[in-house]
Amino acid sequence: MTTLTALESEVNELRTKLNQLESGHNESLDTIWMMLCAMLVFFMHAGFSLLEAGSVRFKNTQNILAKNLIVVTGGFLCWYVLGYALALGAVEEPNKFSGGTNFVMDGLWDDKTTFRTWFFQGAFCATGATIVSGAMAERTKLLGFSIYVVLMTSIIYPIVAYWGWSGSGFLYYEETKSIVGPSYMDFAGSGIVHMVGGVGALCGAIIVGARNGRFDSETADEFDGHSVPFCVLGTFFLWFGWYGFNPGSTLEMHDTAAATKAGLVATNTTLAPCVSGLLVFLLRAKVVQPRRLDVGGFCNGILAGLVAITAGCAFVKSWEAILIGLFGGLIYQGASMLLKLLKIDDVVDAFPVHGACGAWGVLALGFFGNPDEGMGGNGVFYGGDQLGVQIVALLLIALWSAYLSVAAFLPLRMLGALRLSDDFQKQGADVMEHSPSKAYADQGASKNETTLV
């Protein structure tokens, strides 16, 4: 009996050690996965920088790059002080509007697994802010834009993230509920990230106004971006980073279910942009202006498909992802043409790509996704009841983002802290306020720049 008791005790001890090893192993796998994906999301800022730099004229290259650097540096500091607390700061009796703990990382040392979440979600937060910079390029003051970055990364995005991702917000609580029925579905942020940034971009572009001469027939051609290669490289960088953005939103990688889901997400994140990019390229070559091969339009078509599939990438089959991408391309092209018709100067088509296609990505989950497949889908095409909450979420996100964006941009414009003067726009912000005064050492005079003598 003594021997049997000793053996039983030894087995229990070994079982405890095995469980500890398994727990540590799972935690390590999840951390490695999330850190890798967070770094890919962070790398997307290189893509945004190249894309936006290529879309502006020589004389404003450094200025737009400075804005991208401010988004990351200032945005992460705001996330540290306030943003994370409002987005994910859990309290004992949570409300449905915002979090309220972990300001300046207070309490994160008590559960060190939250550091990976802080970094991963912080990269998402900065992405929402940088979407706005490209739309307002070439005529926006650095000070005014920086103030908006503080608001976006401290309040606008974090509150929306709380609503949809904290597990306690209006749109998603008690795992299956929202204030209007089933919980809101947005796997990686078509609405929570991209639509927030896209709506902010639209408000900013309207309030700051168009660049001087942008819609004059005699000078419109002078506003072409200075580097198509930058735009293409930036698009590939963003697409590459999207494989952290979407698959990384599994938030774990220690079991077969998470691994297979990440594989599905990566597949859908590949197919949708292929379809949307080709569609826009063909439309612009044969159907709509310029009726020539438009590489820049091809790039934005790809990004439109990526944005559109971001919400549903884990919940739909691949043929559904292709359809979502197809409609995403159509919606992007229609929104882009509408902005030009209304003479709204969005330099990089930030709203058509992120705002309009982000909204479509949210709505698409109301239609697609079969509940019987066990993937979490709940679309009306299969008898699901998801569409209502997706519509409500779209309206809430759009209204919140627009209201606070207008509340920030309008006073800045009235106080003279938002729009660059006519002289700045003519000479270029690089010459007027940057050192060195030009982005390229051998930069000569061209139709897209003015050289000071």
**Which one of 9-13, 43-47, 94-98 scores highest in mean pLDDT?**
43-47
CA distance 381 to 359: 19
Tens of pLDDT, residue by residue over 271-322, are 999 999 999 999 999 999 999 999 999 999 999 999 999 999 999 999 999 9
CATH code of the domain in which 295 resides: 1.10.3430.10
Record the pTM: 0.93
Contact by Cβ (8 Å): 108, 27 = no
| Residue 322 domain flag | yes
Q: State yes or no: pLDDT of 450 exceeds 70.
A: no
Domain presence at residue 82: yes
Please say if the pLDDT value at position 12 is more than 80: no
What is the mean pLDDT of the segment spanning 56-60?
95
Give burial (CB, 10 Å; 0-12/13-18/19+) of 317.
middle
- Give exposure, 259-281, as e/b (b: 16+ Cβ within 10 Å): eebbebbeebbbbbbebbbbbbb
Half-sphere exposure of 376 (CA within 13 A, CB side): 19
pLDDT score of 224 more than 80: yes
Q: Measuring CA to CA, how many Å separate 418 from each of 156, 310, 400, 411?
A: 19, 32, 21, 9
Q: Is the pLDDT of residue 2 over 60?
A: yes
Classify residue 254: in a domain, yes or no: yes
pLDDT one-digit tens code per residue, 335-376: 999 999 999 999 999 999 999 999 999 999 999 999 988 899
Contacts of 206 (CB under 8 A, 6+ apart): 344
Q: Indicate whether 14 pLDDT > 80.
A: no
Could you tell me the residue range of the domain that residue 409 belongs to?
1-433
User: What is the pLDDT confidence band of residue 234, given thresholds at 50, 70 and 90?
Assistant: very high
- Which stretch, 3-7, 9-13, 327-331, has highest mean pLDDT? 327-331
Look at phi and psi of residue 380 and say left if phi exceeds 0, alpha if psi is from -120 to 50, else beta. alpha
Q: Give the contacts of 155 (CB within 8 A, at least 6 positions apart).
A: 82, 83, 86, 404
Mean pLDDT computed over 9-31: 80
Mean pLDDT for the chain overall: 93
The pair of structure tokens assigned to 296 is 């820049």
* pLDDT tens column, 187-214: 999 999 999 999 999 999 999 999 999 9
In whole angstroms, give the CA distance from residue 115 to residue 27: 13
Q: What is the largest CA-CA distance in the chain?
A: 100
CA distance 64 to 364: 33
Answer whether residue 452 shows pLDDT above 70.
no
Query: pLDDT tens digit string along 398-424?
Result: 999 999 999 999 999 999 999 999 999
Q: Is residue 23 part of a domain?
A: yes
With CA atoms as reference, report the closest residue to 450 among 421, 430, 420: 430
| Average pLDDT over every residue of 388-403 | 97
Residue 270 pLDDT greater than 60, yes or no: yes
Q: Which of 58-62, 151-155, 221-225, 271-275 has the lowest mean pLDDT?
A: 221-225
Indicate whether 452 belongs to any domain. no
pLDDT, tens digit, for every residue of 156-181?
999 999 999 999 999 999 888 999 99
Distances in whole angstroms, Cα of residue 279 to Cα of each of 283, 368, 430: 6, 21, 36
Q: Residue 451 above 60 pLDDT?
A: no
pLDDT value at position 171?
96
Provide the pLDDT for residue 221.
82
**Number of folded domains that form the chain:** 1
121 within some domain: yes
Pick the more confident residue, 3 or 232.
Answer: 232
DSSP code for 194: I
CA 326 – CA 269 distance, rounded (Å): 13
In this model, does residue 64 exceed pLDDT 70? Answer: yes
Contact 52, 137 (CB under 8 A): yes
The values of phi and psi at residue 159, to 5°, are -65, -45
On whether residue 173 sits in a domain, the answer given is: yes
pLDDT at 444: 56
| pLDDT, mean of residues 387-391 | 96
Residue 441 falls inside a structural domain: no
The pairing of beta strand 181-182 with beta strand 168-169: unpaired
pLDDT score of 446 more than 60 = no
What is the rounded CA–CA span in Å between residue 204 and residue 401?
11
Integer angstrom CA distances of residue 117 from 32, 34, 120, 132, 195:
12, 8, 5, 24, 22
